[in-house]
A = this chain, B = another copy of it.
Amino acid sequence: MINIAILGFGTVGSGVYEVLKKDGGIIAGRVGDEVRIKYIVEIRDFSDHPDAQLFTKDYSAVLTDNSVSVVVEMMGGIEPAYSFTKDAILHGKSVVTSNKALVAEKGAELFALARENGVFYRYEASVGGGIPVIRPIGTCLAANRITRVMGILNGTTNYILTKMIEEGQSFETALADAQKKGYAEADPTADVEGHDTCRKIAILASLIFGKNVDYKKISTEGITGVEPEDVEYAEAMDSSIKLIGMARIGEDKVFARVSPMLIPNDSPLACVKDVFNAVMLTGDNVGDVMLYGSGAGKLPTASAVVSDVIDIARGISENRRLDWEDGDSSYVTPLSETKVTCLIRSKEEIEDATCIDIGIEGEKGYILRNFKESDLEALLKREGVIKCIRM
């Protein structure tokens, strides 16, 4: 019997409960032992729940119950999730999480603490929801130097951009539609400003390159500035605008960025529509690999959480291939030291650039290749220059 405790009975926490109820039989077969929820720690009242006896407000009783081997942290945010996670590890319990904020902020520290205490901190569900991402990077692709990762990591923004592309909607209309359908929150800031994508690309880059990539150092631009005209330029260039989190490694530094990008329509990333997510990895041997699926949602995310519980229960986390080390913040290359290829929309001619006229009055598009980021800021301040969209 593997006893687990769920911390937080929100969307994903209740999804974990549901997956274990529904598929408990096949999961037991795969583990070779029953996985049982012994506690659900939740401050809200669930006295009417069919399994009301599982609910408790007393986390300290869970910590001192030696029969609990895995804590499933489904609270989100930094505190109290961070303290609760440390307490669990210090009490000899492995922790499984979908909490991207905490993994991005405190991952390296929590991996080290878990190692010291002979337990595991696992996070498959923190990036890409139910999509197999974290383990394939650590196992299937272990015979590769992964040099680049590009991801559509946020379903809300991908849904909004899909509506703008396919139905010609404005950002505001598409956002309202997403909110109506429950795909966007009342306060959509974390999604539309790219903060969510930023945490997720930081996690992927940290795992891939083995050292902590500080998310606070990642240049992040959301989709609030994407206009119907940008979508028209994309179409004319046989491309689609997508919010992309990307990271690549140079000599010994990482470059990472979150921004809307023009993705050619013959790239499989351009085919990722609606609320779906995808991660494209480039390895020195395997070339391009893409992993696609539901990046959010109750049951997809819960299925990734439970897969981590299954791994720990089977004892196949018996190595540290998914951990990363701490890194100082100079590990991330400042944007100004990199080069960019981009489309400049401008009312005045841009020299040394390929011009595209799609018939919008008073402006043209100019493609700049391998342009210094350090010169871009000055260019964007020039009279007549409207904006830059990265490619």
| Residues in chain A within 8 A of chain B (CB atoms) | 19, 22-23, 26-27, 30, 124, 130-132, 135-136, 139-145, 266, 268, 270-273, 276, 283-294, 297, 299-300, 302-307, 309-311, 314-316, 318-319, 321
Contact = CB atoms under 8 A, between A and B. Distances in A.
A267 to B, nearest CB: 9
Contacts of A283: 130, 303
B314 A316 contact: no
Contact of A143 (B139, B306, B315): B306
Contacts of A314: 319, 321
Given A285-B302, A293-B286, A307 B143 contact: yes
A1 B273 CA distance: 47
Contacts of A135: 135-136, 139-140
The 4 A-B residue pairs with the shortest CB-CB distance in the complex, in nearest-first order: A132-B140, A271-B271, A143-B306, A285-B303
Contacts of A318: 315-316, 318
Contacts of A321: 30, 314, 316
B286 A294 contact: yes
B299 A285 contact: yes
Tell me what chain A mostly uses at the interface: helix, strand, loop, or mixed: mixed
Contacts of A27: 142-143
A305 B135 CA distance: 17
A373 to B, nearest CB: 29
Nearest to A283: B303
B23 A144 contact: yes
A30 B142 contact: yes
A147 to B, nearest CB: 12
A136 B141 CA distance: 12
Contact of A23 (B266, B284, B291): B284
B290 A292 contact: yes
A275 to B, nearest CB: 11
Contacts of A285: 19, 22-23, 130, 299-300, 302-303
A254 to B, nearest CB: 16
B140 A136 contact: yes
26 contacts: A19-B143, A23-B143, A23-B284, A27-B142, A130-B286, A131-B289, A132-B136, A132-B291, A135-B140, A136-B136, A139-B139, A139-B316, A143-B307, A268-B268, A283-B303, A285-B302, A286-B294, A286-B303, A286-B304, A287-B294, A287-B297, A290-B293, A291-B292, A314-B319, A314-B321, A316-B318
A26 to B, nearest CB: 6
Contacts of A310: 139, 142-143
Nearest to A136: B132
B140 A284 contact: no
Given A23-B285, A27-B143, A286-B304, 17 more contacts: A132-B139, A135-B135, A135-B139, A139-B311, A139-B316, A140-B304, A142-B306, A142-B307, A143-B302, A143-B304, A143-B307, A271-B271, A286-B293, A286-B294, A286-B299, A289-B294, A291-B292
Contacts of A271: 268, 270-271
Contacts of A276: 268
Output the residue of A140, A141, A143 with the most chain B CB within 10 A. Answer: A143
A313 to B, nearest CB: 10
B141 A307 contact: yes
